[in-house]
Amino acid sequence: MNLALFDLDHTLLPIDSDYTWCQFLISIGVIDAQTYEERNQRFYDQYKAGTLDIYEFLSYQLRPLAETPRATLDQWHTRFMAEHIEPALRPSALQLVQKHLDAGDQCILVTATNSFVTAPIGQRFGIPHLIATDPEEKDGEFTGGVAGQPSFREGKVLRTEQWLAQRGLGWSDVGTVHFYSDSINDLPLLEKATHPVATNPDERLTEIAQQRGWPILRLFE
């Protein structure tokens, strides 16, 4: 079995889905623009710099999910997909995923963004498996907490290992492992891959990829 692992934000999408979801909630008046835009931008800048405290971020990012009935959230997400995700889809990214699907690789979306936001996006790309940060649920509604290990930095490695273990497998049981990512935050999983691909990489990842001879793929140019 060969694996094809894909980060999402700025890798398969030219936008950050977490950031854009928050901007969407601001646009429909669910959260206060001034307060949340300032915090949203601060967290986004920290993410790009590789200094994000994931638990501080999640306590902020998951709060609207806990404050809103699931049925309403689902309606909002349908609108979010139509207004923000569909226009951001690029043929180059869709074709990259399809290439691995056609090759028979096990394709997995491995993202730090929460699974409520990202599950429909992964389905839109045709990716059958999702490893994401999972919001805690109780009786079908979100609590605002996190279930298990966030899929972030070293957590992506751990969660991928758990995915393999659920199938009775380990790293030594798989063949090639492609991992496509733009972010220095994904260095731990890139280092586990047999075929790391710096995809639309940030400045720090570009430098590392050049030093290590990793291919650099720019999907949106």
Catalytic residues: 7, 9
Ramachandran angles phi, psi of 9, nearest 5°: -75, 125
Query: How would you classify the pairing of strands 216-217 and 106-114?
Result: unpaired
Contacts of 218 (CB under 8 A, 6+ apart): 199, 200
Long-range contacts of 54-58 (CB under 8 A, 24+ apart): 54/112, 54/133, 54/150, 54/152, 54/153, 54/155, 55/146, 55/150, 58/114, 58/133, 58/146, 58/150
Task: Check: CB of residue 157 under 8 Å from CB of residue 110.
Answer: no
Phi/psi of residue 140, nearest 5 degrees: 85, 0
